[in-house]
Amino acid sequence: MSESFSTITLEIDDSGIAIVTINRPKKLNALNDEVLNELADVFKDIQIDEEINAVIVKGAGDKAFVAGADIKELRELDNRSGRMASQKGQQIFQLIEDTRKPVIAAVNGYALGGGAELAMACHLRIAGENAVFGLPEVGLGLIPGYGGTQRLPALIGKARALEMILTGKQVKAEEAQRLGLVNKVSADPVEASKELLNDILKNGPIAVRDAIKAVYHSDNRSGYQVEADLFGELCETEDCMEGTSAFLEKRKPEFKGK
Ligand code: HXC
């Protein structure tokens, strides 16, 4: 079975593994509003569809999983709309994390900013050999806004997470595995994800569901509110205008701290 939205494809195989493909390759699958809305719709369907036992999320093409939130759209945001954009993405990624069927991100190429945040909202991550992870928002005069300030420290510890967030530096697949950001590196991350899911699906389905529920139960939610508030405030700074404009004009930003 396969279902099509405009920016997302959903295919379901015989074992009930759904493959969600983010399909905007010319913009390296960047998350604009349309992609986010369709991602929410697809995950709402997945949660209630009894034919689906597990999920793989991937990006179309070899170059990128997702290169982040759409910077053209970010440039238009002010404090209020910036906070709301952050909260909207947080809620959709929460919906993904709250899926009580195992969700694996199969990451080929760039997973930057919102793309890394999407991968981190999945329960497990398998990286292709060319995968690159990073939270480059500070280079745009922003901070991660789709939960990255909360999920990255939870996955790799505060010190390593802060280093990645403050420098915006990119890490390749093997380093990502060493850090604990990805579970495995594979030449074929979709195939490797299917193998792992088929192993998981041999176990009791209620136990699998409840194990996911228990692991996420202790998460502290208030950090997400702080992240969204700060993201909104940053949207109104001159530095954010400079950082996002510099990206779109293909030049280096000159920040003034204003
Ligand atoms: C919009 C993007 C984009 C993005 C790439 N593109 N990333 N458009 N938003 N995040 C577009 C480019 O403008 C270009 O369009 C096309 O995709 C191909 O990208 P290039 O830059 O030409 O490719 P390349 O030189 O190979 O560089 C690849 C790259 C670079 C290193 C991944 O594209 C890049 O740095 N992208 C931005 C990464 C980033 O900063 N992400 C974080 C965003 S902030 P044209 O039309 O020129 O062909 C974020 C915040 C989340 O995610 C929270 C929000 C609340």
User: Any idea which fold 8-200 has?
Assistant: 2-enoyl-CoA Hydratase; Chain A, domain 1 (3.90.226)
Q: How confident is the model over 161-168, as a mean pLDDT?
A: 98
Q: Residue 179: what pLDDT?
A: 98
Q: How confident is the model over 47-59, as a mean pLDDT?
A: 97
- Ligand 1 center–CA 16 separation, angstroms: 33
- Annotated active-site residue in 3, 137, 233, 254: 137
- Annotated active-site residue in 3, 73, 97, 117: 117
> Using CA positions, which residue lies closest to atom 23 of ligand 1?
28
Which atom of ligand 1 lies closest to the CA of 82?
Answer: 55
Helix boundaries (H) for the chain: 33-48, 71-74, 79-97, 114-121, 148-156, 158-167, 173-179, 189-200, 205-217, 222-235, 238-248
Nearest to 27 by CA among 247, 176, 251: 247
**pLDDT single digits (tens) 195-211:** 999 999 999 899 999 99
Q: Residue 3: what pLDDT?
A: 64
- Ligand 1 center–CA 10 separation, angstroms: 24
Q: Residue 178: what pLDDT?
A: 98
Q: Over 60: is that where the pLDDT of 1 sits?
A: no
pLDDT band at 4 (very low <50, low <70, confident <90, very high): low
> Using CA positions, which residue lies closest to atom 32 of ligand 1?
67
Residue 153 in contact with residue 197, Cβ under 8 Å? no
Q: How confident is the model over 229-237, as a mean pLDDT?
A: 95
Q: Residue 123: what pLDDT?
A: 98
Q: Residue 221: what pLDDT?
A: 73
Q: Residue 217: what pLDDT?
A: 83
Residue 150 in contact with residue 252, Cβ under 8 Å? no
- List, by residue range, all CATH 3.90.226.10 domains of the chain: 8-200
Q: How confident is the model over 71-86, as a mean pLDDT?
A: 97
User: Is residue 117 among the annotated active site residues?
Assistant: yes
Residue 224 in contact with residue 235, Cβ under 8 Å? no
Q: How confident is the model over 4-8, as a mean pLDDT?
A: 88
**pLDDT single digits (tens) 105-123:** 999 999 999 999 999 999 9
Mutate to test the pocket of ligand 1, among 31, 33, 71 (most ligand atoms within 8 A of CB): 71
> Using CA positions, which residue lies closest to atom 45 of ligand 1?
27
Mutate to test the pocket of ligand 1, among 23, 24, 27, 140 (most ligand atoms within 8 A of CB): 27
Q: Over 90: is that where the pLDDT of 219 sits?
A: no
**pLDDT single digits (tens) 88-111:** 999 999 999 999 999 999 999 999
Q: Could you tell me the pTM of the whole model?
A: 0.95
Q: How confident is the model over 64-76, as a mean pLDDT?
A: 97
Q: Which residues make Cβ contacts (< 8 Å) with residue 236, sequence separation at least 6? A: 78, 79, 82
Q: How confident is the model over 121-138, as a mean pLDDT?
A: 98
- Ligand 1 center–CA 35 separation, angstroms: 15
Q: Does ipTM come in above 0.95? A: yes
How confident is the prediction for the chain on average, in pLDDT?
95
**pLDDT single digits (tens) 174-198:** 999 999 999 999 999 999 999 999 9
> Using CA positions, which residue lies closest to atom 53 of ligand 1?
145
* Amino acid letter, residue 213: K
User: Is residue 97 among the annotated active site residues?
Assistant: no
Cβ < 6 A, ligand 1 pocket: 27-28, 30, 67-72, 74, 85-86, 89, 110, 112-114, 136-137, 140, 144-146, 231
pLDDT band at 167 (very low <50, low <70, confident <90, very high): very high
Q: How confident is the model over 58-70, as a mean pLDDT?
A: 97
Cα(209)–Cα(224) distance, integer angstroms: 24
